[in-house]
Structure 1
Amino acid sequence: MSITRLIMGAIVLLASGAGWAADFKTVGAAPAVLYDAPSTKGVKLFTVPRGAPLEIVLTYGDWVKVRDVSGDLAWTPARGLSSRRNVIARAPNVKIRAAEDDASAVVFTVDKGVLLELGEPGANGWIKVRHRDGLAGYVRGSDIWGY
């Protein structure tokens, strides 16, 4: 009977993991260097520009393992990341609308890879965003990465 409880507990734990929200940070004032190990002695893999969102996968001391928009995993010092939140458009011609509705007027359109400042979540999968030029509106959560 205890083996059954153990197995059921493991299944519940694994199933509940799918409901956890991802933790994202934004690259701070300087571009972030990503390494293959949690050390500056590791191989430098690539550099991520300032303002880009990164998903925090694991924290190890002063280092974090992150996933970028393309899905690549690497390590970077935690001190180079900010809690300010940005997102990236996933596709070309993403429409930012005046309200949380597909029938709402298009305020502006962004191309794939454009950074937007994350606002508050709206209803039914819509997210409020703001472009660096000051324009703001709502976008479907499926059209952006990093929230």
Structure 2
Amino acid sequence: MLKSALLSKFRWIAGAVLLLASAASHAVDFKTVGASPVILYDAPSAKGGKLYVAPRGMPLEVVLSYGEWVKVRDASGEMAWTEAKGLSAKRNVVARAANLKVRASPDDTASPIILVDKGVLLEMSEQASSGWVKVRHKDGQSGYVKTSEVWGL
């Protein structure tokens, strides 16, 4: 009886540890709408209800993959489905607030190169590091923004 109880407790603890380990190792996966806009649906099927069209370059968080479909979350938190083939591995971020300062270097005291409005897309030039990410504006200007001031990371 005691052996059975201990074995049961061990299995429960081992299961909990595995569950926590798998949750901790799950990385957030962001993609960008590819060369053409994509339709976002309420179900993983072209027969599902059409919610809206996501423009080219829009960053989306991939929440779940289901065959040729992915469930995604946009910057506003809305969830929808789209075909995986319409997404690109290229990374863009979107400004969270108006007058976002794109700076010359990854430092709060660095001179702003440009100010961008809320919702402006910026292409990631390098991976985020130490709370900053290097980005490029569509007009070609490059600089750094705080990771907390953009969505898509």
Give the TM-score taking structure 1 as reference length: 0.91
Identity of aligned residues (%): 58
What's the CA shift for 1:119?
1.9
Are the aligned partners of 1:35 and 1:45 in contact in 2 as well (CA < 8 Å)?
yes
Tell me the equivalent position of 2:3.
Answer: none
Aligned counterpart in structure 2 of residue 8 of structure 1, from 8, 13, 18: 13
Residues 56-85 of structure 1: CA deviation (Å, up to 9, x unaligned) = 011111100000110011100111111111
- 1 or 2, which has the higher helix percentage? 2
- Aligned pair 1:110/2:116, yes or no? yes
Tell me the equivalent position of 1:21.
Answer: 27
- The residue type equivalent to 1:101 in the other structure is D
- The residue type equivalent to 1:79 in the other structure is K
- The residue type equivalent to 1:61 in the other structure is G
Q: Distance in 2 between matches of 1:123 and 1:130?
A: 16
Larger C-alpha radius of gyration, 1 or 2? 2
Are the aligned partners of 2:71 and 2:79 in contact in 1 as well (CA < 8 Å)?
yes
The answer for unaligned runs of 5 or more in structure 2 is 1-5
Q: Distance in 2 between matches of 1:21 and 1:110?
A: 28
Are the aligned partners of 1:56 and 1:66 in contact in 2 as well (CA < 8 Å)?
yes
The answer for unaligned runs of 5 or more in structure 1 is none
Change (3 A) 1:6 1:89: farther
Aligned alpha-carbon RMSD (Å)? 1.6
SS in structure 2 opposite 1:120?
coil
